[in-house]
Amino acid sequence: MSDSKKMTIIATKGTFDWAFPPFIIASTGVAMDKEVTIFFTFYGLNLLLKDTSKLRVSPMGNPAMPMKLPMGPKWLQKIDFGPKIPNIFWSLPFTEHLATYLMKKTMKKNGVATLNELRSMCQEFDVKFIACEMTVDLFGYNKDDFIDGVEFAGAATYFEECNGSDHNLYM
């Protein structure tokens, strides 16, 4: 085993709310002096697209999601509407847009980095991004659809990356 501490992450989810954990964990790993690789497969490929503006929060079937308003009187901002909203509500048109808008507004209010800022920071910190080549082909993407600096490889490459790794995470 080398002296270098390694961490690998498999990112499989591609919604706005699930975009942050792999990048937060990766940037934290780098800050802890780890060599970090993220392997993006299936819907996780969405996180590597040049245009992430279409990513939405996925509140459907997620009753644990807190839903607090980022604006209005303080007493109103403290109410967690999540458990009070039945899941059927999320099947109505545009509710994903509403949830995404509210999450982005809450993140901005709390000084949280945007998705593109966090992703760029990971690249600046030399986090290796690997897109699953089979899934790229399966979903009909072109390599030009993705941000610069992405490596395209198969699942076997992921296993080579995690060889000797201290942490292997699935998200």
Task: Note the pLDDT tens digit of each residue in 10-66.
Answer: 999 999 999 999 999 999 999 999 999 999 999 999 999 999 999 999 877 676 777
Pairing relationship of beta strands 5-11 and 128-132 according to DSSP bridges: unpaired
Average pLDDT over residues 162-166: 90
Distance CA 166, CA 127 (A): 15
Q: Is the pTM of this model over 0.75?
A: yes
Q: Which residues pair with 150 in a beta bridge?
A: 129
The counts of H helices and E strands in the chain are 6, 5
Q: Of 162 and 86, which is predicted with more confidence?
A: 162
Q: Of 90 and 110, which is predicted with more confidence?
A: 110
Average pLDDT over residues 110-115: 94
Average pLDDT over residues 140-165: 95
Answer for the pair 137, 77: CB distance below 8 angstroms, yes or no: no
Distance CA 113, CA 108 (A): 8
Q: Six-digit token pair at 153?
A: 């490889």
Q: Of 88 and 106, which is predicted with more confidence?
A: 106
Half-sphere exposure of 7 (CA within 13 A, CB side): 21
**All domains in the chain, ordered by first residue:** 6-54+114-170 (3.40.1260.10)
Mean pLDDT of all residues belonging to the chain:
91
Instruction: Identify residue 54 by its one-letter amino acid code.
Output: K
Q: Of 45 and 79, which is predicted with more confidence?
A: 45
pLDDT attached to residue 14:
95
Q: Examine the pLDDT at 1 and tell me if it is beyond 60.
A: no
Q: Examine the pLDDT at 114 and tell me if it is beyond 50.
A: yes
